[in-house]
Structure 1
């Protein structure tokens, strides 16, 4: 299985701001949404499907504007773990051009104890 998860979104009025392009805050929402969707699509393959991810750090770079009617492709994939932190890339493309680039750091939380749960550094190979 590929670790890359992607989806497309057509830009409608709800995403547009007063500058007539996609509102920057919307990209942050999409980063969280696609990470959750990706996790939901693979968690059944693991022994801890009920535990949750919590966002620690978020870096985003806006490279180009996207406008009403455009179609964007959002791609996400986890990178190699860094101790208890799990980096995740989220890339936004419009017409095959990278328009927004994001790197987030997450930690895994045991749903019952609400404490950070350390995953094996090779956990991605289980997917």
Structure 2
């Protein structure tokens, strides 16, 4: 598995708020979107292809503003599991500068039992 997944987003009018920059809530939406895309691209390589992630905790730091027409590079990668929690970083870059930094904690839900899965500590290495 490529632990780092990235994509580019062009900022459109729908991403902009009344202050003429990307709305903070938009970043939260993008965090969830890119995490889902990354999982969808690799889940078939794991022991958990039918299971789903649920967001537990979200920390985001806004460093610089981004404006209409800017191109954002979004990078995400999982960190080592912490018990039942799976940390994930999501970083937003514009013109090579880190503009938003996010750390989220997720749990994996068994799709059949609807219960939290305990991940093996080395599950990322096996992909």
TM-score by length of 1: 0.98
Provide the residue aligned with 2:99 in structure 1.
99
Whole-angstrom CA distance in 1 between matches of 2:47 and 2:31 = 25
* Cα offsets for 1:55-93 (capped at 9, x unmatched): 000000000000001000000000000010000000000
Unaligned runs of 5+ in 1: none
Provide the residue aligned with 2:13 in structure 1.
13
Matched, 1:44 2:48: no
Unaligned runs of 5+ in 2: none
Q: Displacement of 1:2 after TM fit?
A: 2.6
Whole-angstrom CA distance in 1 between matches of 2:126 and 2:22 = 36
Q: Displacement of 1:47 after TM fit?
A: 2.2
* Cα offsets for 1:5-56 (capped at 9, x unmatched): 0000001101000000000000000000000000000001112201000000
Q: Where does 1:55-94 land on structure 2 (aligned, <5 Å)?
A: 55-94=55-94
Provide the residue aligned with 2:28 in structure 1.
28
Q: Displacement of 1:126 after TM fit?
A: 1.8
Whole-angstrom CA distance in 2 between matches of 1:33 and 1:126 = 24
Q: Aligned pair count?
A: 127
Give the alignment's Cα RMSD to 1 decimal: 0.7
Matched, 1:118 2:126: no
TM-score by length of 2: 0.98
Q: Name the SS of the counterpart of 1:22 in structure 2.
A: coil
- The runs of at least 4 consecutive aligned structure 1 residues that moved more than 2 Å come to none
